[in-house]
Amino acid sequence: MPDLSASSRSAHQVVAERYPFGVFTGEHTVAAAREAAELVRYLNIATLDRSGEALPDPNTAAAVLGALNTACDWLPQLLAQLLQRMHDFAGDPDLATGSSTDTASALAARAMAHLGLAQDALSPLARELRAAFAAADRLYLDTDDED
């Protein structure tokens, strides 16, 4: 089991060690995205099967909400950069597709349109997560009361 004590490395340190800033490759990019997806899967399983252990108190739930809100706050930049790359690819004369029904430029345009819609959808999601965090962050379990 990993060391998750207060003295353990921060999430930033773990990511920087695994994916050093300044070393950017397609393989690192895809691996990081896949690990992010797998971490969401882990959270789904942990909070479904062992919610009492995974979310033992409101503070823990609030911390999860806060981290998810931060991820939503950071996603628009990534989506904008993906949209820009799709735009760049659309203008590349070497862009090709294996599709028998759509041209490569049509598929790139469709990807850009959907990325724009995804960006639009993030603002309300982040706003609602921020509100949920703000409410949950004020909660605690009062277990010190004597009967």
Q: Give the pLDDT confidence of 39-57 residue by residue, as tens digits.
A: 999 999 999 989 999 999 9
Q: For residues 134 and 109, what is the distance between their CA atoms, to the nearest angstrom?
A: 38
For residues 79 and 45, state if they share a domain. no
The percent of residues above 70 in pLDDT, for the chain, comes to 93
Residue 37 inside a domain? The answer is yes
Provide the whole-model pTM: 0.84
Residue 105 inside a domain? The answer is yes
Alpha-carbon Rg of the chain, whole angstroms?
A: 20
**Contact call for residues 47 and 129 (beta carbons, < 8 A):** no
Q: For residues 134 and 67, what is the distance between their CA atoms, to the nearest angstrom?
A: 12
For residues 120 and 88, state if they share a domain. yes
pLDDT in tens, 94-133: 999 999 999 999 999 999 999 999 999 999 999 999 999 9
For residues 38 and 65, state if they share a domain. no
Residue 1 inside a domain? The answer is no
Number of domains in the chain: 2
Q: For residues 86 and 108, what is the distance between their CA atoms, to the nearest angstrom?
A: 6
Domain that holds residue 78: 57-141
For residues 66 and 120, state if they share a domain. yes
